[in-house]
Amino acid sequence: MKTIKDFDLKDKKVIIRVDFNVPMKDGVITDDLRIVESLPTINYALDKGAKVILMSHLGRIKEESDKTKRSLKAVSIRLAELLGKPVKFVPDTRGEELENSTEDIVLMENTRYEDLPDKKESKNDPELGKYWSSLGDIFINDAYGTCHRAHASNVGIASNIPSGIGFLVEKEITALGNALNNPARPFTVILGGVKVSDKIGVIENLALKADYILIGGAMAYTFLKASGISVGNSIVDEDSIEFCKKMLEKYEDKIILPINVVKAKDVDSEAIECFVNQIGEDEEGFDIGYQTVELFSQHLKNSKTIIWNGPVGMFEVDKFSNGTKALGEILKGIDAIKIAGGGDTGAAIYQFGFEDAFTHISTGGGATLEFLEGKELPGIAIIGKWIMKLVVGNLKMYMNLEETKEYISVLKGFNNDNVVICPSYIYLHYFLGHNFNLGVQNIFSELNGAYTGEISVLQVKEMGVKYVILGHSERRITLNESNEFINEKVIKSINNGLKVILCIGEHEGCEDKEEFLKSQIDNCLKEVKLDNIIIAYEPVWSIGTGKTPTNEEIKNTIDFIKGYINRNIKVLYGGSVTANNINLLNQIDNVDGFLVGGSSRNAIEFLEIISSVSWQKLTLFSCIRQN
C-alpha cells in the first residue's frame, strides 16, 4: 500500500484527510488528542516542500443550526498553536478562496457541511469527490476513524487522484493487522460493550483466530442467558440468543463468561457483588466482580497478544468502574502486545490513566470493529487504486533475442497493471511471469485452420495475452487490410476474451476527417459489443514522423470519437509519442492513455513515458537501479 513516503511531495498540493472530530463544549476543545495524532503526517508533508490542504468532519450536520456548533474554526486555532505555524481557515467547502489559496497550510470547513441538504459528503457524491480532488495533486488519508465509511472526502477523492495513507493510518492497520494475522500466542481477546448484534461478525472472526475470548460488559448477559442463567433485568439482546448458544456450543473451551458480577436495582441503587445466578428479577448487572477479574487474569497473564474492545462495565459510574480498572491494572504488569480498540475502550483507558500499558490504542471505534470483523474498510481499500492512463508499447518487428532479454531486464522490477507491452510473437514467452500486461500486434480472423504463417486468438490467449492491437495503419496500408476484415478479427478477439485496441486515424490531406473516422468506427465495430473495446486515435501522417497535432486538435477529435460512439469508452492517442512530448500530450484532459511506437523500444524512455502519466515514479527509479 502506498504511504506518504512513496511520493515526491516537493511543490505539490497535498490533500490530507484528517480526523479532527474532537470533543467540544461551548465552542472549546476539551480533548485535542486527535489533532496531536495528525501532526507527524502534516509536518512530514510540509518538511518535504508540499502545500497542505486539510479536510475533516466534526460531528453530524442535520440542520442549519448545527453548522454554527460544528465549525472547525476553533480547531484551526489549536492546530496553529500545536504546529507553531499559521493555518489559514477557509469557512466553506467550495469556492475561489479555497481554490486559489497559496498558504502552506489550509484547513477547509467541516466536510459534512455538504450533507445539507442531500448528504453529498456522506453518500460519496461523485461530483463532490471530483471537485475536492481538483484542489490537489496527491491525496493522503490519515483519518482512520472514518476509514470504514465511503465518503466523498476519502473514497471520492482517492478515486480521482494518486493516493496513499498517512502515518496514523499506517500505524493503525500495521498494529491491528499484525495482531490478527500473525499473533504471538496465546492470543486473548477481551470483548465488552452492549449489544451482541453489533459484534456478531467480530466474535465469529476472532473465534477463529484467538485462543480465548473473555466476555464482559452488558453483552455478557446475553451469553449468560443463552447458557440458561437468569439475569433479571440486565440488558439482553434477545435477537442474538440463538447466536450465543451456537457460539457457546462450538467454542465452549474458548469463550470465557463472568462467574460473578456487580448488580443493582438501578444506577442510583446500592451496588452488590454476587454470583451470576444470584441476580434478582428486579436487578441488573452493571460490572464484572472480583472473582471474574481473577478468572480473566488467569487467561491474560500468560498471553503474548491481547486485544481489548469494549469496557467490561458501566465505567462512567464510579461504583461500576472497578472491573475495567482492575483489568487495566492487570494489563500493566503483563509483557505482551496489547492493543485497545477506540471509542469507549480508549475513553476508559485514558480516563483511568492506563495508556502507557498498551502497545497501541486505536483512534477509531467503528473502523476498528469492522477491521476486527475482517471487513474491507472502504477508505483504505481505495488507496492506490486510482487508475492511471493506459500506456501501450508496440514493439513492432524490432529487437533480436539479445536485445529482447536486455529490454526485459530493465522492466522486470516494474509493477503496473495499466501498462501493456506488445512484443513480437516469437518472444512472447520471454515476457511471461512479469508484472505487466501482455498484448499482441495482430491476430488472424479464424480460430484455426490451414492459414500458413497466421496466429489465432486461442493460441495467444494460452500464452497469457490479454490485449490485441487491430487496425493499425501499417497493416491497413502495407497489407491492404480492410475495415471489413478488421471487423472479423475484432469479433473473434472480443468473443474469445481479448481486449481490443482498435486503431483509427486519417491520412494527411483527408478532406473530411470526421466522416473518415465514422466510416472506420462503423465498419470495424459492426455487430461488436463495446465492453472490451479501446480506441487508439493515430493520425496516419503522424506515425513515425515526429509530427503531432496540436493538443486542441487531439482533444477535439477525441471529443468527437467519444460523442459519436455515445459511450463511456477509453480513447488513447498514438502518433510520435515520446519522452520529450509526453508531458505536453498528458495535459489533454480527455485522453485516456497512449499507444507508443518507436519510443517504447527503448526501455528507459518507455519507463519515462509511463512515469509521466503515472504517480508511481519510485517504481521507475527502482527499475533503473535494478538494471
Tell me: the pLDDT tens digits for 284-328?
A: 999 999 999 999 999 999 999 999 999 999 999 999 999 999 999
Tell me, what's the pLDDT at 388?
A: 67
What is the distance in angstroms between the CA of the first residue and the CA of the last residue of the chain?
24
CB 165, CB 140: distance < 8 Å? yes
Say how far apart CA 164 and CA 154 lie, in whole Å.
Answer: 11
Integer CA distances (angstroms), 491 to 67, 123, 153, 568, in order: 57, 40, 42, 20
Catalytic site residue from 57, 148, 151, 472: 472
The three-state secondary structure class of 606 is helix
With b for 16 or more beta-carbon neighbours within 10 A and e for fewer, the 270-298 pattern comes to eeebeebeebeeebbbbbbbeebbebbbe
Contact partners, residue 237, CB within 8 Å, separation at least 6: 194, 195, 196, 197, 219, 222
Averaged pLDDT for residues 122-135: 94
Cβ neighbors of 625 (< 8 A, separation 6 or more) are none
pTM as predicted: 0.65
Residue 87 pLDDT > 90, yes or no? Answer: yes
- The SS3 of residue 51 is strand
Residue 615 has pLDDT above 80, yes or no: no
Which amino acid is located at 590 in the chain?
N
- 469527490: which residue's cell? 129
Question: Is the pLDDT score of 387 beyond 60?
Answer: no
552: Cβ contacts below 8 Å, ≥ 6 apart: none
* Mean pLDDT of the region 507-516: 93
Chain segment 12-39, per-residue pLDDT in tens = 999 999 999 999 988 899 999 999 999 9
**Single-letter code of the amino acid located at 399:** M
Q: CA 473 to CA 481: how far, in whole Å?
A: 9
Does 538 qualify as catalytic in the annotation? Answer: yes
CB 120 within 8 A of CB 57: no
Taking the C-alpha atoms of residue 445 and residue 491, their distance in angstroms, rounded to an integer, is: 8
Read off the C-alpha cell for 301: 497473564
pLDDT above 70 for 68: yes
pLDDT tens-place string over residues 92-106? 999 999 999 999 999
Residue 414: band (very low, low, confident or very high) from pLDDT cuts 50, 70, 90: low
pLDDT tens figures, 532-559? 999 999 999 988 788 889 999 999 999 9
Model confidence at 198, pLDDT cuts 50, 70, 90, reads confident
Compute the distance between CA of residue 269 and CA of residue 263 in angstroms, rounded to an integer.
9
Integer Cα distance of 316 and 288 in angstroms: 14
Q: What is the pLDDT of residues 164-190, one digit of tens each?
A: 999 999 999 999 999 988 899 999 999
> Could you tell me the maximum CA-CA distance found in the chain, to the nearest angstrom?
97
Q: Would you state the pLDDT for residue 627?
A: 36
What pLDDT is attached to residue 219?
A: 93
Residues 6+ apart with CB under 8 A from 549: 539, 542, 557, 575
pLDDT at 410: 87
Q: How many helices (H) and strands (E) does the chain have?
A: 24, 25
> How far apart are the C-alpha atoms of 10 and 124, rounded to whole Å?
29
pLDDT of residue 543: 83
- Cβ partners under 8 Å of residue 618, min gap 6: 6
Check residue 618 and give its pLDDT.
32
Rounded to 5 degrees, φ, ψ at 508 are: -65, 135
Q: What is the pLDDT of residues 338-361, one digit of tens each?
A: 999 878 899 899 999 999 999 999
Q: Which residue has the cell 486515424?
A: 505
| Cis amide linkage into residue 311, ω under 30° from 0 | no
Contact 323, 293 (CB under 8 A): yes
17 burial class (0-12, 13-18, 19+ CB within 10 angstroms)? Answer: buried
In percent, how much of the chain has pLDDT > 90?
79
| CA 212 centroid distance within chain | 32
The pLDDT value given to residue 369: 87
Question: DSSP string of 513-538?
Answer: HHHHHHHHHHHHTTT--GGGEEEEE-
Task: Return the higher-pLDDT residue of 612 and 439.
Answer: 439
Cis check for the bond before 117: say yes or no (omega within 30 of 0): yes
- The three cell numbers of residue 495 are 468473443
The residues facing 549 across adjacent strands are none
Cα torsion 452, 457, 460, 462: sign: negative
Residue pLDDT, tens place only, 208-239: 999 999 999 999 999 999 999 999 999 999 99
Q: Is 481 annotated in the active site?
A: no
Lookup result for grid cell 463532490 = 128
Q: Which three cell numbers stand for residue 503?
A: 486503431
Phi-psi region of 66 (alpha: psi -120 to 50; beta: other; left: phi over 0): alpha
Q: Which amino acid is at 591?
A: V
Residue 20: how many other CB atoms lie within 10 Å: 24
Mean pLDDT of 39-46: 98
Strand partners, 374: none
- Interaxial angle between packed helices 167-181 and 33-47, expressed in degrees from 0 to 180 and rounded to the nearest 10: 110
- The string of pLDDT tens digits covering residues 570-606 is 999 998 999 999 989 988 878 989 999 999 999 999 9
Mean pLDDT, all residues of the chain: 92
Burial 530-539 (b: 16+ CB within 10 A, else e): eebbbbbbbb
Mean pLDDT of 118-146: 94
Predicted local distance difference test score (pLDDT) of residue 448: 94
CA angle 542, 437, 596 (to 5 degrees): 10
Enumerate domains of the chain plus CATH numbers.
4-165 (3.40.50.1260), 183-377 (3.40.50.1260), 391-445+453-626 (3.20.20.70)
Q: CB of 34 within 8 A of CB of 74?
A: no
**Which residue is listed with cell 451469553?**
223
DSSP 468: E
